[in-house]
Amino acid sequence: MANPLVSDRLIDFLLYEVLDAEALCALPAFSEHSRATFDPWLGACRRVAREVLWPTYRPMDLEPPRFEGGRVFVHPSMRTCWRELVGLGVLAASRPSSVGGQQLPLTVSTLSNVYLMAGNLSAYAYAGLTTGAAHLIEAFGDDAVKSSFLAAMYEGRWTGTMALTEPQAGSSLADVKSTATPTSGGRFLMKGSKIFISGGDQDVTENIVHLVLARIDGAPAGTRGISLFAVPKLRPSGEGLRANDVTIAGVIHKIGWKGLPSVALSLGDEGDCHGWLVGPANQGLKCMFQMMNEARLMVGANGAATASAAFHESLAYARERKQGRPLGSTDANAEPVALTEHPDVRRMLLRQKAIVEGSLALIGLTAQLADWSEHAEQAERRAEAKLLLDLLTPIAKTFPAEKGFEANALSLQLHGGYGYSSEYLPEAWLRDQKLNTIHEGTTTIQGLDLLGRKVIAGGGAALMALDGRVRDAVKRAQAAGFDAAPLERGMDELARVTGVLGARGASGDVLGMMGHSADFLELASTVAVGWAWVEVAARAVQNDDDFSRGLRQAASYWLATELPRAQHLARLCETNERSYLDVNEAWLD
Amino acid sequence: MPIKILVTAKRVEDYESKIKVNAQGNGIVLEGLKYKINPFDEIGVEEALRLVAKHGGGEVVVASVGTKDVHEQLRHALAMGATRAIWVNHAGPLDQMTVAGCLQKLIEKEKPDLAILGKQAIDDDQNQVGQYLAEWLGWSQATFASKEESLESEAEKSKTPALQLSADAKTLTVIREVDGGLETLECSMPCVVTTDLRLNQPRYASLPGIMKAKSKPIEEHTPATLGVDATPKITVTKMEHPPARKAGIKVPDVATLMDKLKNEAKVI
Ligand SMILES: Cc1cc2nc3c(=O)[nH]c(=O)nc-3n(C[C@H](O)[C@H](O)[C@H](O)COP(=O)(O)OP(=O)(O)OC[C@H]3O[C@@H](n4cnc5c(N)ncnc54)[C@H](O)[C@@H]3O)c2cc1C
Ligand SMILES: Cc1cc2nc3c(=O)[nH]c(=O)nc-3n(C[C@H](O)[C@H](O)[C@H](O)COP(=O)(O)OP(=O)(O)OC[C@H]3O[C@@H](n4cnc5c(N)ncnc54)[C@H](O)[C@@H]3O)c2cc1C
């Protein structure tokens, strides 16, 4: 059977049983929707993922973009993928009707996009980047910018990119050096170098709009001097378009995401690169950060999707491949059995399931918070959802990427020697997955964000909100007969350690606090995914079919094998473990 | 010249569902099944949309017979772009004569220029409704409409399609699949066409299409209001799975193979 990429039954269960997506339709923003629109939409995404995107995945992986004569040529099948993605309506699906969108809840669009990502991560990224860039223009652009770019982007005639990174400014965007000089016409003349810009050139659409971070001449140093600009590859000129002095300096030779070019861009080599200011001057990073939750959630979804496709591949392989005899069998003439007969193989499959489906549940919960934080009718409800959303975003970005990489390695491992060969797919997904721990803020940066900003914001209010959700889920699960006690203990650890680290930081020991950001991120992730699994288990207890049993098994597995690690991680933080804090780089070689 | 086309959207079990025969052995287990539009009907909807677009507009009316569940399939066709829908509300067993009878009455009311149906439905593989319908209407028919070459890519879309309507809309040229090749028929209009698998690759429903479909009308009828006797003339007496395929064997040489084909399989 063909790889399903993502389990339909699981996604339906998450949407309708765990997340109660239909309840969102009571909100005015989503009143046009109901299950009668969600189901056909999911159906269409599933088909496009399986019938259009998936068959192009391997060809694109094998034939990366070419850079010739200053232009980038992508795999020819990208044209078909783009046409179908645009035709499907993914670009503006969750945008308001005022900009031609369909106001689909993010809860639904995030989980439906997982199919498209699992089918072909690179191909979907053209759409994800375009929506992200257009959304920035929609939110912060003035009428002139909007009328120049927005419709063309949401209609898929032009694509968009995020052009933040520079050679000296990766994790630290405060060090961005590109410049913008005001002109008398209200536009800016741009100058600078950007690197790793995904979708920075392609031959699929006629034009590309780069959203560029740069400094207006005379702006203050640091983050408070950075502004956001729309910089098209071709700029509107009279009735047509003309070159805008954006040069492609080269394409990056990547180990994954090979269907999507990532390029080095040079702006204004000839002094004729026009930019349009988006949002207030010097507020560029702030504007960008307002979109960060969505972008980071998308990376989490990328991670879950990549691990999901690999999980299903290894499950089918393990069912088919005959090797060895059951434990304890002494009959040398017995027929070999399927790999799934071996306990350790089943463990590796269950671990992948726990990571993949736990990630999907967490992403669904986070997306739902994004919907409530924007559209709930009561202000308190919006505020509470926003707090939780901010807290969970670094986790929903990181967990699927980091643990997804482990799941991808297990998929490869289950294929044995064949997994190590590029005739089989798991190695490709493993390469793709690695990017998700790097772009949109590395795992380290997410850890610093979580511990340095998110948990301490509002005097720990976000953590209190999570605590409330966790205990409520535990209560419901216990009442339904599922033992969720380990989650409660994990939550206790998390709450206590947050207090300890916060106090240590407040006393001036920044290293003693922030030096444990990786431990803390892992601890919080283990608990958050535990919560997601308990939410799932609480609703999967009634039935005794294979599907529900599988969910309970994976939930129990997570609580039994991972939650105890919360104690260990908590101890590292509480005792202020020094081995890695005090290491001197001179000692390392 | 605008044209009006009637198409069908039968609700069938998804071919990816696991189909099991029920305990009584006269039908299948319905629990846990997924449903979709009959793929041949979907091809029909697509072809109708293309014809209408090519001939400067018109209407694509989609019909289905069954319980309210068929609204799902009607909405799917509407989301693809069909103009409006007709639902013939009927619960219980249905045979091809009842369906053809209902469609005949609808066509007499609607007076389309053309009816496009799937050549068969993937649930019971009957391959009869289109033929009955043409006979009872006294219309010409072209079954198994297919095509010579792929018309899916941009470059290929300019090539001759399998269904071509003359400028005066009086005749329809249809390329159809026959054993070992293709044949071209010219039919006088109005006519009934049934679709084969290779005719086209249907478009996917888009989100804007799905949203628009919500407000497109679905008109309701029943066999009784149409004056059709829905008593089945066919009853299913027994249903069983095909015998499981036996594992293959390896033979050491050609002589053994010939011997086995001759004496065991008795095929040569
Ligand atoms: C394939 C690909 C596509 C990309 N697409 C885009 C794109 O479309 N647009 C765009 O703008 N950018 C893009 N990027 C850039 C990406 O966002 C950066 O690579 C990322 O932010 C890391 O920056 P860097 O590569 O300069 O690494 P560095 O910042 O040099 O980081 C190197 C290591 O040091 C750690 N580190 C850095 N600073 C700190 C600190 N203060 N404290 C602790 N540890 C630290 C990091 O966690 C990392 O492990 C892309 C990158 C890749 C590889
Ligand atoms: C690059 C490379 C170089 C190699 N070089 C050599 C060489 O020089 N000489 C040589 O002879 N071979 C060589 N090999 C083969 C290598 O030793 C085998 O790939 C390895 O032993 C695994 O066997 P397999 O690939 O058939 O996987 P399988 O045996 O099919 O294993 C698949 C998965 O199932 C698990 N599994 C299998 N049986 C059981 C069981 N009974 N209980 C629990 N789990 C089980 C495995 O742990 C694995 O995760 C090479 C392989 C590679 C990739």
* pLDDT tens-digit series, residues B4-43: 999 999 999 998 888 889 998 888 988 888 899 999 999 9
Strand A188-198 relative to strand A274-278: parallel, antiparallel, unpaired? Answer: antiparallel
CA distance B6 to A75: 40
Protein residue with its CA nearest to atom 25 in ligand 1: A170
- How many residues comprise chain B? 268
> How would you label A437-448 residue by residue, b for 16+ Cβ within 10 Å and e otherwise?
bebbbebebbbb
| Residues of chain A found within 8 Å of residue B214, distances taken between Cβ atoms | 32, 36-37
Q: Which of A53, A82, A88, A543 to mutate to test the interface with B (most CBs of B within 10 A)?
A: A88
Asked if B112 and B4 touch (Cβ cutoff 8 Å), the reply is: yes
Residue B248 lies in a domain: no
Give yes or no for residue B234 having a pLDDT over 70: yes
CB-CB under 8 Å, A104 with B207: yes
Residue A25 lies in a domain: yes
CA distance A20 to A45: 20
- Of the residues A86, A117, A143, the one at which a domain ends: A143
CATH code, B214? 3.40.50.620
Structure-token pair, residue A448: 């610093």
Give yes or no for residue A209 having a pLDDT over 70: yes
Structure-token pair, residue B27: 């039908």
Give yes or no for residue B151 having a pLDDT over 60: no
The whole-number pLDDT of residue A290 equals 81
Residue B93 lies in a domain: yes
Strands (E), chain B: 3-8, 11-13, 35-37, 58-66, 84-89, 114-118, 140-145, 163-165, 171-178, 181-188, 191-195, 218-221
CA distance B241 to B234: 20
Same domain, A188 and A257: yes
Question: For residue A315, how far is the Cα from the chain centroid?
Answer: 24
The whole-number pLDDT of residue A577 equals 97
Residue B268 lies in a domain: no
- Residue among A402, A440, A522, A562 flagged as catalytic: A440
Asked if A49 and A119 touch (Cβ cutoff 8 Å), the reply is: yes
Neighbours of B22 (CB within 10 A): 12
Separation of CA A306 and ligand 1 centre (Å): 20
Residue B66 lies in a domain: yes
Cα four-point dihedral sign B26, B28, B31, B37: negative
The phi and psi torsions of B233 (rounded to 5 degrees) equal -95, -5
Give yes or no for residue B61 having a pLDDT over 70: yes
- How many angstroms separate the Cα of A85 from the Cα of each of A46, A82, A156, A454, B205? 12, 5, 9, 35, 11
**pLDDT classification of A456: cutoffs 50, 70, 90:** confident
Neighbours of A503 (CB within 10 A): 11
Which residues lie across from A231 on neighbouring strands?
A: A210
CA distance A269 to A194: 13
**Nearest chain B alpha carbon to A8:** B34
The response to whether residue A414 sits with its C-beta less than 6 Å from ligand 2 reads: yes
| Residues of chain A found within 8 Å of residue B207, distances taken between Cβ atoms | 41, 44, 88-90, 93, 102, 104
Separation of CA A79 and ligand 1 centre (Å): 29
Which residues lie across from A72 on neighbouring strands?
A: A67
Tokens 């193979």 label which residue?
A: B257
CB-CB under 8 Å, B207 with A36: no
The whole-number pLDDT of residue B26 equals 86
Separation of CA A136 and ligand 1 centre (Å): 21
Range of the domain at A488: 442-581
CB-CB: which of B36, B75, B207 is closest to A88?
Answer: B207
Give yes or no for residue A38 having a pLDDT over 80: yes
CB-CB: which of B72, B79, B204 is closest to A48?
Answer: B204
CB-CB: which of B206, B210, B211 is closest to A87?
Answer: B206
Structure-token pair, residue B78: 């509407």
CA distance A45 to A51: 10
Which residues lie across from B193 on neighbouring strands?
A: B116, B142
Residue B254 lies in a domain: no
Average pLDDT over every residue of A356-385: 97
Same domain, A23 and A98: yes
Range of the domain at B214: 3-236
| Coil, strand or helix at A153 | helix
Question: For residue A432, how far is the Cα from the chain centroid?
Answer: 13
**Ligand with smallest separation from the Cα of A128:** 1
CB-CB under 8 Å, A36 with B75: yes
Which residues, including other chains, have CB under 8 Å from residue A588's CB and lie 6 or more apart? none
CA distance A162 to A446: 19
Residue A36 lies in a domain: yes
Task: Return residues 85-124 of A near B (CB < 8 Å).
Answer: 87-90, 93, 102, 104
Q: Which of A13, A34, A41, A94 to mutate to test the interface with B (most CBs of B within 10 A)?
A: A41
Question: For residue B235, how far is the Cα from the chain centroid?
Answer: 22
Structure-token pair, residue A243: 């070159």
CB-defined site of ligand 1, < 6 Å: A 161-165, 170-172, 196-198, 254, 257, 262, 435, 438-439, 442, 444-445
Residue A589 lies in a domain: no
CA distance B208 to B216: 13
Residue B43 lies in a domain: yes
CB-CB under 8 Å, A37 with B210: yes
Separation of CA A198 and ligand 1 centre (Å): 13
- Of the residues A393, A426, A441, the one at which a domain ends: A441
| Residues of chain B found within 8 Å of residue A88, distances taken between Cβ atoms | 204, 206-207
**Nearest chain A alpha carbon to B79:** A40
Same domain, A382 and A476: no
Average pLDDT over every residue of A286-291: 88
CB-CB: which of A32, A39, A80 is closest to B211?
Answer: A32
Give yes or no for residue A313 having a pLDDT over 60: yes
DSSP state of B155: G
Closest to B173 (Cα-Cα) out of B183, B188, B163, B181: B163
Q: How many Å lie between the alpha carbon of B186 and the closest alpha carbon of chain A? A: 34
Residue A148 lies in a domain: no
Same domain, A300 and A257: no
Residues A531, A532, A538, CA angle at the centre, nearest 5°? 85
The phi and psi torsions of B145 (rounded to 5 degrees) equal -60, 135
**Ligand with smallest separation from the Cα of A420:** 2
Average pLDDT over every residue of B104-110: 98
Residue B36 lies in a domain: yes
CB-CB under 8 Å, A89 with B207: yes
CA distance A273 to A188: 8
Q: pTM for the whole thing? A: 0.94
Give yes or no for residue B236 having a pLDDT over 90: no
Separation of CA A108 and ligand 2 centre (Å): 41
CB-CB under 8 Å, A43 with B207: no
Which residues, including other chains, have CB under 8 Å from residue B216's CB and lie 6 or more apart? B78, B82, B83, B84, B85
**pLDDT classification of B156: cutoffs 50, 70, 90:** low
The whole-number pLDDT of residue B19 equals 87
CATH code, A387? 1.20.140.10
CB-CB: which of A37, A87, A104 is closest to B204?
Answer: A87
- Of the residues A441, A459, A488, the one at which a domain ends: A441
Strand A66-68 relative to strand A71-73: parallel, antiparallel, unpaired? Answer: antiparallel
Which residues lie across from A229 on neighbouring strands?
A: A212, A277
Q: How many domains are contained in chain B?
A: 1
Torsion, CA A381, CA A382, CA A384, CA A387, rounded to 10: 170
CA distance A557 to B103: 56
Q: How many domains are contained in chain A?
A: 4
pLDDT digits over A289-309, tens only? 888 889 999 999 999 999 999
CATH code, A127? 1.10.540.10
The whole-number pLDDT of residue A572 equals 98
Residue A587 lies in a domain: no
The whole-number pLDDT of residue A152 equals 97
The response to whether residue A320 sits with its C-beta less than 6 Å from ligand 2 reads: no
Closest to B191 (Cα-Cα) out of B5, B58, B56: B5
Residue A3 lies in a domain: no
| Residues of chain A found within 8 Å of residue B210, distances taken between Cβ atoms | 37, 40-41, 44
Give yes or no for residue B152 having a pLDDT over 70: no
| Coil, strand or helix at A126 | helix
| Coil, strand or helix at A331 | coil
The whole-number pLDDT of residue B15 equals 83
Per the annotation, the verdict on A406 as an active-site residue is no
The whole-number pLDDT of residue B248 equals 82
The whole-number pLDDT of residue A256 equals 98
| Coil, strand or helix at A197 | strand
* DSSP string of A360-422, one letter each residue: HHHHHHHHHHHHHHHH-SSHHHHHHHHHHHHHHHHHHHHHHHHHHHHHHHHHHHHTHHHHTST
Interface of B with A (CB under 8 A): 36, 72, 75-76, 79, 153, 203-211, 214
CB-CB under 8 Å, A44 with B207: yes
Q: What percent of chain B has pLDDT over 90?
A: 64
Q: What percent of chain A has pLDDT over 70?
A: 100
Residue B80 lies in a domain: yes
